[in-house]
Structure 1
């Protein structure tokens, strides 16, 4: 099996396409089962956030799996595969691992170093596990990616400088509405947060730290709104009270999982009419978007959404292409867009933190690839030991036929002695071949063993040799985003 990542993000696709492809949590199991029903996919995990949709897969053939994933994504987007292909990036094997580690570390995020992606990746992995979609290869990849992400955040401080998408949106929004910084404009203001999920919790915590005068939490489920409001001294309301709360607010942050608009043009038009000359700042951090497009044209309404934020932040060179990109001709279209490097970190990450994070990713990548190479030789080693056991058993049977006078105790002692001799002879070579196999190009040692001893190792067995401890014994629950927006 090989690793394959196929996806698109805010840098390769317009927000309209991301909206179509966005996968609500409740729809993930069905999509995972559809992917696994395809002939070339053995394992799958789907990561869907406001900024990206990615499929991580263990596949039996690159071209076939790429076509399978492309077909599923195109079907979800309601377009031809060829129309989708130019927005996709593709990573295979080593580059797929590198991409997973960079995503977990926040290095591929809209705001470099933001911590939310780690919790989102953890949640995607948990949903996939519940659907029994990842096998041993993806279990190991995702668990290691979460550990790498946590290490990046704890050792480099990249998230303390980069913060998150919300702080970047606040900075952009307050400049537009008042020509000033968020920390100067927000104190004493009335803020309305719509949605009590992860982004809503982060918004409430951030706005509390900025010293807003009043914080209102609106949510469809009032119990969740009460809990979140209680954490931050806010006031909970239901969505039925939205019209009046919008008119009273200076700032609205919306991050729901709704498939329709929460803020229609009529609702906001009435709110701005009631506000008179006071502007209303709306931060739409949802995909699909919560704020109807026409709201941005209303006098007195200032809207910042994910697409605008991406345009503001993204200074990456779209023409640069890291290794691992694939051609969209494999999907039946023109040239695929290669995975672009992350947006410039100059304004959002502390000096030196991004290079330090990249070094961690590089080191962890080398170690993980060594692990995979070593695991790939395990079936050959097992086959060699099995061949030795078969030879020993055959010789002991012949000896028993030639020397029938031997007692059971004597035969048992002879068997133990012969097995010890064989195991000692094999121990050093098999340990050494595992060590050598972990190095680049180490797979040739397994090939030599198979050739020398005429070993039969079935195709695909190597990937199954990756030994992963049960999930319960490899804790990742500590890798999460708490309500205060920090890594736990």
Structure 2
């Protein structure tokens, strides 16, 4: 069983395709189980965000796993496999580990270094865990990826060098509106991205923040926690709020449009709409209204270069951390993979020793307890000394690439039951995301 990643992101696909492939709510749970129930997949989780949809899976066959997952993604997106395949990327074994760590550190994000992806990966893991589609291998991979992401942020500050999507959007907004300080902003939605928007607007000195959400209590809680004057409104009052706002940021999880062009009243002041949702919240026709500018995810595609220009040293430092962590993770995984074979070898040796001691007791019934104990200790000591050097050495050799061949050699040479190492290697995993 090995780890496979099949996905598409802002780097490989246009926003229109990402919108079709994105999954949330019941659709995400359904896709998760469809992947998990496919022929070649043993474990899976799905990371679906505004700029990436990635399936992480443990598979028994590479080609079979890629085929299963690609076909299910195409069916979910409502496109042909040929249409989707040109936008897909595939990572396997070592490269899958490197990709997971890079994603967690924000190196693969539209805005390099952004930290929101950590929460998104953690949420994906928890959903898969709750649905019973994740096991030992993905548990260890994702938990380590989350730790690597935290380490990268703590040691390099790359999450500060790379501005958030909201920050980049506000830079674009300033080009249209001018100084943002003292202006009125409307945030539509109350999820994680909306919380980030409210915090970023407060730091920008916005005069007032209005939060609109389908669930009023969530909007109220977000407004109450803002470090700027803020108030919550019902979604039914959205049209009136749109007339008042200078800046509108929409980032809901709705499956259809939230803001239609006919909902946006004419106003004497200039207005800027920032649509960070996937699928889009804002009708593209809004951008054609007098005095209105609209920016979406497509307009933020240059943000990666901007972030790297802000912090090239931090980005390079993160890449070194990822390389070191990948090497350590793979080395530990290879060493752990041989451990069950070593346990099986020692178990077989112990069984042989006990059988021979029992036979000796039958042949020499006159031995007293002291002599019998001394003989047993001597035989066990001899076996331990004979096995010590090869078992230590095979663990060392196993940590290098191709080290699994040494475990296979041990099983062949000592005629070990191949199921014995597997039984030791795969206990039930219980735990939660850190």
For Structure 1 versus Structure 2, the TM-score category normalised by the shorter chain is over 0.9
1:77 to 2:77 alignment: yes
Using the TM superposition, give the Cα deviation of residue 66 of structure 1 relative to its aligned residue in structure 2, in angstroms. 0.3
1:437 to 2:398 alignment: yes
Of the candidates 195, 198, 208, which is equivalent to residue 201 of structure 1?
195
Q: Which stretch of the first structure deviates more once superposed, 13-22 or 188-197? A: 13-22
Secondary structure of the 2:23 match is: coil
Distance in 1 (CA, whole Å) between partners of 2:307 and 2:167 is 14
Distance in 2 (CA, whole Å) between partners of 1:70 and 1:460 is 33
- Give me the TM-score of the superposition, normalised by structure 2: 0.94
* Change over 3 Å in CA distance of 1:27–1:412 after alignment to 2: farther
1:465 to 2:433 alignment: no
Distance in 2 (CA, whole Å) between partners of 1:461 and 1:212 is 59
Stretches of 4+ aligned residues off by more than 4 angstroms: 406-417, 466-470
Distance in 2 (CA, whole Å) between partners of 1:36 and 1:417 is 52
Q: What is the aligned partner in structure 2 of residue 265 from structure 1?
A: 261
1:183-219 Cα deviation digits (max 9, x unpaired): xx21000001111110111111110111111111111
Secondary structure of the 1:346 match is: helix
Task: Give 5+ residue unaligned stretches, structure 1.
Answer: 315-342, 477-488
Distance in 2 (CA, whole Å) between partners of 1:5 and 1:70 is 11
* Change over 3 Å in CA distance of 1:220–1:414 after alignment to 2: farther
Q: How many residues align?
A: 432
Q: What is the aligned partner in structure 1 of residue 111 from structure 2?
A: 111
Q: What is the aligned partner in structure 1 of residue 88 from structure 2?
A: 88
Secondary structure of the 2:308 match is: coil
Secondary structure of the 1:440 match is: coil
Secondary structure of the 2:181 match is: coil
1:59 to 2:53 alignment: no
Native 8 Å contact 2:36 2:44 kept in 1? yes
Q: What is the aligned partner in structure 1 of residue 347 from structure 2?
A: 386
Give the root-mean-square deviation of aligned CA atoms: 2.2
1:189 to 2:179 alignment: no
Of the candidates 233, 242, 249, which is equivalent to residue 238 of structure 2?
242
Q: What is the aligned partner in structure 1 of residue 308 from structure 2?
A: 346
Native 8 Å contact 2:20 2:279 kept in 1? yes
Higher relative contact order (CA 8 A, sep 6+): 1
Distance in 2 (CA, whole Å) between partners of 1:74 and 1:469 is 32
Native 8 Å contact 1:166 1:203 kept in 2? yes
Using the TM superposition, give the Cα deviation of residue 24 of structure 1 relative to its aligned residue in structure 2, in angstroms. 0.9
Using the TM superposition, give the Cα deviation of residue 411 of structure 1 relative to its aligned residue in structure 2, in angstroms. 5.2
Distance in 2 (CA, whole Å) between partners of 1:367 and 1:470 is 23
Native 8 Å contact 2:31 2:76 kept in 1? no
Using the TM superposition, give the Cα deviation of residue 458 of structure 1 relative to its aligned residue in structure 2, in angstroms. 4.4
Native 8 Å contact 1:379 1:457 kept in 2? no
Native 8 Å contact 1:173 1:303 kept in 2? no
Distance in 2 (CA, whole Å) between partners of 1:86 and 1:460 is 41
Distance in 1 (CA, whole Å) between partners of 2:300 and 2:426 is 41
Distance in 2 (CA, whole Å) between partners of 1:446 and 1:419 is 23
Native 8 Å contact 2:158 2:315 kept in 1? yes
Secondary structure of the 1:258 match is: coil
1:140 to 2:134 alignment: no
* Change over 3 Å in CA distance of 1:155–1:468 after alignment to 2: farther
Aligned counterparts, 1:366-381, within 5 A: 366-381=327-342
Q: Which stretch of the first structure deviates more once superposed, 413-422 or 257-266? A: 413-422
1:429-450 Cα deviation digits (max 9, x unpaired): 3223212211223223223323
Task: Give 5+ residue unaligned stretches, structure 2.
Answer: none
- Give me the TM-score of the superposition, normalised by structure 1: 0.84
Distance in 2 (CA, whole Å) between partners of 1:245 and 1:411 is 91
1:102 to 2:92 alignment: no
1:355 to 2:316 alignment: yes
Distance in 2 (CA, whole Å) between partners of 1:468 and 1:162 is 39
Q: What is the aligned partner in structure 1 of residue 68 from structure 2?
A: 68
* Change over 3 Å in CA distance of 1:280–1:242 after alignment to 2: same
1:222 to 2:213 alignment: no
1:271-324 Cα deviation digits (max 9, x unpaired): 2x1x12x111110000011001222222222111112222x336xxxxxxxxxx
Distance in 2 (CA, whole Å) between partners of 1:409 and 1:36 is 58
Using the TM superposition, give the Cα deviation of residue 453 of structure 1 relative to its aligned residue in structure 2, in angstroms. 2.1
